[in-house]
Every structure is written in structure tokens, then in C-alpha cells.
Chains A and B, each alone.
Chain A
Amino acid sequence: MSELLCGPTRAIVKWALTAIIVGWSAFPIFYMVLGSFKPPADVWAYPPRIFGPVTGQNYAEILRFNPTYIHDMWNSVQVTVYGVLLTLLIALAAAFVFARLRLGWLRVPAFFIITVRMFPPIVVIIPLFPLMSALGLLDTLTPVVIAGVAFGVSIATLLLKAFIDDIPIDLEEAALIDGCTRFQAFYRITLPLIAPGLAAVVVFTSVGLWNEYLFPLVFTSSEARTAPVTIAVAINNVEGVRWGMLLAMSAVHLAPMLVLVMLVHKQLAEGMTLGAVKG
């Protein structure tokens, strides 16, 4: 291709291909957000209208037709915040052990963590459902958080271990000589240095918990229902889908994660590569 095309033709082809890639990646998101601000007549318009009046009506309608949506979003926030904190806490502890302590038997827990990471979440809901029911935990946030953490903690541990490996242990040793304890040396010296990696892990974990659908679907019904389940119910409304409102609900759900992902997209890309190729 490169020999055949030169000068302006080549530039045009490049821009056209870029436009196709951007359209494919971002158009669905753009079109949803755009639709969420259209007045009802334009949401259903054919041919579709890109330019037209802008209204916040669809957002106002969310609470009229889904009065629980704020509650459901708040549940999603809680699941994500608790889940991320719990994941970070236990994954950092484990990653520290794998990266800094040299003990032969660590191969056993490492193998375990790497293996169960691959298990499909759908297979554990069958045994967990009666258990959660017996424990009286159905329709609470606990099973959603715990199950979400379990399926995200392995990759978090492996990534954090890889990031800690990159920080020379000499720095911690210097801190030890200066009178720090082993623990202080780790969290005062190494932890700040792996901040970019930590950010990627936080976003990975947040996206997983925030977008989780299977666990809230199975383990919750109303009190602890999270936003994705409410959206899924609204998609398949037998009385007809209120598209404007549905697009607004989806945009509200997407916005925080989209911002987070865009903020750390570079570290995220590195984390994805590391998780696949190395982790």
C-alpha cells in the first residue's frame, strides 16, 4: 500500500481509515449520549437526526419511571468503593509477599491464584445461591461485593506483584537502615513509586465491579439491586421501551467509568498488556 500511495492520496486514505476506526470505537457511545439529550420525537426520528434541539427531559423522566434508580446507582457506588478497597488491601498484602519474600512454598498459593482466576463466574452462582440464602445474605450488597472481589483479586495481585518487582529492593533497604520498619519501608518508599500501576489496578477493579451484572442479577432483588440490573429490566420492558429515558439511564451509568478510563488510559493499556503477556 505504502508504495502505491503517496502525497495527498495517502494522507486522505490515512484520514479516512482513522475516521473509520474512531467511528467504530466511539460512535456508539457518542450516539447514545446524543440520543439521551434529544426530545422524544427526535429519539424515534427516521431518518435519524444528528442536529436538533437539546433537552434534559429524558434525565428528568428517569426518576418518574424508575424511582429506585438513585438508590440502585448508590448501591453500585457502594459495591464499587467497598470492592475496590477490599481488593486493594488484600491484593497488596499478597503482592508484597510474592514480590519481596523468597520462600519456596509460595509457588503453591501462586499456582492457586493463577488457576482460579480462569474459572467462569457463572458456575459458582449455582452453589453460592443456596448458601447465600441460608446465610440470609440474599438481597444484600455483601455477596455482590465478595463475589466481585473474588473474580478481580487474582489479576490485581498479579499486576501489583509485577509493578512491585520493577522497584529495586535497594530503596527499601536504605529506608531500613534509616530506621524504618519493613512495613514502613514498603508503604513509604515502594507504594508511592508504583502509584501509576496502582491507578491502573484501581480502574481495572472499578470497571469490573461497576459493570458487574451476573452477581447482582442472581443475588439481589430490590433493596440491593445495582444499576445494570435496573437498566437490563428497562431494556426488556414489555410495555414498550422508553428509549430516551433508557439512553439517559445508560449515559448516567457509563459517565463515571468513561471518565476514569480516559484519565488513565495509558496505564490501563500497559496493564492490559502486562496482564495478558506477562501476568
Chain B
Amino acid sequence: MAATGILTAVRPTRSLNWTRTAVALALLLPVVAVLCFVILVPSVQLLWLSLTDYSPGLGGSFVGLKNYVWILTDPAFQAALLRNLFYVFVVVGCEVLIGFAIALFLQQPIPLRPLWMALVIAPYAVSPIVAVVMWKYMLDPSFGVVNYMLTSIGLPAVKWLSTPTTSMAAIIIVAVWKEFSFTTIVLFAALSTVPRELYEASKIDGASSWQTLRLVTIPLITPAIAIVVLFRVIFTLREFGIPQTFTGGGPGTSTEILSLYLYKEAFRYSNFGSGAATGWIMLVITVLLSSVLIRRTFRGMFPRTR
């Protein structure tokens, strides 16, 4: 190590190392304590709860895997799981496509670009509940501005929240609008790292814009796209506020995804056991999907050269 400062060059004596350990422990304690108390311990408790028939006020006793058998054979759970996968697929797909298109466009020299970048990030400030207010107002079947736009270009008006398909479409639109800022910003940053010379070289070689995009740009930013997709999949899977306030899972159960199923089981029917089992299934899916990101972040934090 080239550093010559007194903090790094002097080989720590045993007592100095002990002091450091004590200081590090004391400073890490609050974060670790909060995370244990709010996330780790409850998650372990959740596993226990999922093996009982607990309900608040009544207590519970051990029932083994009964809750898992019950939810896995419950058609409502199966439908919620499949619906959730579909929802994640479409939402993340749209977020990445829209984000990529906007990022690509904003890479060009455009007047007032910083202003447009700022506006793209604006939806990030909006609470999911307020986003629902905005879109419910705009999608209203009788005075909504979206139907007005559709009919004025000759398309039929849509009764958004009245049918299962259009309700799903409505919550997907809100979710995509609320989160596309993230994909746009990260993909914009990724596109900025592609060396200019590569574009010039491919132009000299006679490649069309489309060929350059397909053969130069996309391969180079594939790692960034993969990370963005993983992040968004993990965080879309748990979506709760938007469907809960917009459709409440309806009409019928046509927009009920896992988080709504869990909430209904636990807090409406007081089946904490089956709610917990649903939660554990969500947790396992999340951790499996996250493992790549976790490893990557960990390596980024502790580079091997150290």
C-alpha cells in the first residue's frame, strides 16, 4: 500500500487494534440493532408463525406445514401468484423499455436537457397513493382526460376499472409511471459510459443506427440492464400501495397480487398463519432473486485488492 499517512502506515499495535474493534462495534451497534429488531427477528418469527394457526387475541398452536399446504392448494393463492408474476413481467418490461428509449433519446444533444432530466425524475417524489389519485382522476370513465385523448384520436373510450383486463392495465400504468425514473436515470448513466470512439468507428464501418444500437450499444450496457431488471423485479414483486388503493384487488379478485392476498388473509380474516406462509414464500423468492445483487454489492464494498 502506497499510503504514508499515520493512520495507514503505522502497523497497529495489539492495543490499538482492540480500541478500533471496540469503536467499530459501538458505532455499528445502532444500525445492526434496528435491522435485527425490525427485519431479521420478525422474519424468523414469521417462519414460526407460518407453522402455527396463530390469530391475534386467540394465540396459536403448532400445526406443521398445514398453512403451506392450505395456501398452495388455494386457487386464490395460485391465481395471485401467477397474476403477480405477470404483473412483474409487464411492469418491469415496460419500465425498462420506456427507460431505455428515454435515456437513449436524452443522450443526443437537445436544448434544455437538464430541465427534461429533472422532469423525468419528478415522479420519484410522488407517493404511490398520490400517484393513484392522479391516475384515477385521469382514467375516470366519465370525465377522465385519458379517455378524452383516446376518443379524440378515434379510439374507443375505456371503462378502466370496470373490467378485469383494463383494471390490471390501470394499475400497471400507475406502477410504470411511478418508477420509470429509476430505469431511465440508471440506463442514462450506463449509456454515458459507452466510449464515443465506438460510435464513430461503427459509423466509419458503415453501420446503420439500428445496427450500432444492436451490435455496439446494447451489448455494452447489458450488465446495467440486467441489474436494473433484477432490482425492479424484486421491488415490483412486493407492490402493495398502488393496487390496494386503486382497485383493492378488484373487480372480483382480478388484480389481487401476493401482497394483497397476504394482507387480506392476515388482517381481514385474522389468519396470521396463512398470511405468514405467504410472506415466507415472498421472502424466499426475494432472497433467491437478490442473491446476485447481494454478492455484487458485497464485492463492490470489499474489493479484493484491499
Residues of A within 8 A of B (CB): 1-3, 14, 17-18, 21-22, 24-26, 28-29, 31-32, 35, 43-48, 89-91, 93-94, 96-98, 101-103, 105-107, 109-116, 118-131, 133, 146-147, 149-151, 153-154, 157-158, 161, 169-170, 172-173, 176-177, 207, 210-211, 213-214, 218, 228, 231-232, 235-236, 243, 246-247, 250, 253-254, 257-258, 260-262, 265-266, 268-269, 272-273, 276-279
Per-position 1/0 for B28-42, Cβ under 8 A of A = 101110110111111
Sampled A-B contacts (24; CB under 8 Å): A25-B123, A28-B131, A44-B143, A48-B144, A90-B34, A93-B31, A94-B31, A98-B301, A101-B24, A110-B301, A112-B35, A120-B259, A123-B46, A126-B262, A126-B266, A146-B37, A147-B38, A232-B132, A235-B132, A246-B133, A250-B130, A268-B121, A276-B182, A276-B227
B214 at interface by CB-CB < 8 Å: no
Are B27 and A93 touching (Cβ within 8 A)? yes
Binds A, one of B68-76, B164-172, B233-241: B233-241
CB distance from B265 to the nearest CB of A (A): 9
- Kindly identify which residue among B106, B123, B124 contacts A268, using a CB–CB cutoff of 8 Å: B124
Question: How far apart sit A241 and B294, CA to CA, in the bound complex (Å)?
Answer: 44
**CB closest residue in chain A, given B35:** A116
Of the four ranges (under 10, 10 to 19, 20 to 34, 35 or more), the interface on chain B belongs to 35 or more
Per-position 1/0 for B275-296, Cβ under 8 A of A = 1100110110011001001100
Are A250 and B123 touching (Cβ within 8 A)? no
CB distance from A45 to the nearest CB of B (A): 7
Which residues of chain A come closer than 8 Å to B177, judged between CB atoms? 24, 28
**CB closest residue in chain B, given A261:** B125
Question: How far apart sit A258 and B123, CA to CA, in the bound complex (Å)?
Answer: 9
| Given contacts A31-B137, A114-B298, A118-B234, A213 and B102 within 8 Å (CB-CB) | no
Are A269 and B121 touching (Cβ within 8 A)? yes
Are A126 and B137 touching (Cβ within 8 A)? no
**CB closest residue in chain B, given A207:** B125
Which residues of chain A come closer than 8 Å to B138, judged between CB atoms? 28, 31
CB distance from B36 to the nearest CB of A (A): 9
Closest 9 CB pairs of A and B: A150-B38, A211-B127, A123-B279, A120-B238, A261-B125, A173-B5, A90-B30, A127-B45, A118-B290
**CB closest residue in chain B, given A177:** B6
**CB closest residue in chain A, given B39:** A116
CB distance from A48 to the nearest CB of B (A): 5
- Most central of B5, B31, B117, B186 by chain A CB within 10 Å: B31
Question: How far apart sit A29 and B209, CA to CA, in the bound complex (Å)?
Answer: 34
Which residues of chain A come closer than 8 Å to B298, judged between CB atoms? 107, 110-111, 114
Are A213 and B127 touching (Cβ within 8 A)? yes
Are B134 and A31 touching (Cβ within 8 A)? yes
Which residues of chain A come closer than 8 Å to B279, judged between CB atoms? 120, 122-123, 126
Are A48 and B145 touching (Cβ within 8 A)? yes
**CB closest residue in chain B, given A42:** B143
Are B185 and A273 touching (Cβ within 8 A)? yes
Question: How far apart sit A253 and B126, CA to CA, in the bound complex (Å)?
Answer: 9
Which residues of chain A come closer than 8 Å to B63, judged between CB atoms? none
Which residues of chain A come closer than 8 Å to B266, judged between CB atoms? 125-126, 129
**CB closest residue in chain A, given B44:** A127
Question: How far apart sit A113 and B302, CA to CA, in the bound complex (Å)?
Answer: 14
Are B49 and A126 touching (Cβ within 8 A)? yes
Are A253 and B130 touching (Cβ within 8 A)? yes
B231 at interface by CB-CB < 8 Å: yes
**CB closest residue in chain B, given A99:** B301
Question: How far apart sit A260 and B125, CA to CA, in the bound complex (Å)?
Answer: 8
Are B127 and A210 touching (Cβ within 8 A)? yes
Are B7 and A173 touching (Cβ within 8 A)? yes
- Kindly identify which residue among B98, B148, B293 contacts A118, using a CB–CB cutoff of 8 Å: B293
| Given contacts A29-B134, A235-B136, A276 and B231 within 8 Å (CB-CB) | yes
Which residues of chain A come closer than 8 Å to B259, judged between CB atoms? 120, 122
Which residues of chain A come closer than 8 Å to B31, judged between CB atoms? 90-91, 93-94, 109, 113, 153, 157
Question: How far apart sit A127 and B188, CA to CA, in the bound complex (Å)?
Answer: 40
CB distance from B208 to the nearest CB of A (A): 7
- Kindly identify which residue among B98, B117, B231 contacts A269, using a CB–CB cutoff of 8 Å: B117
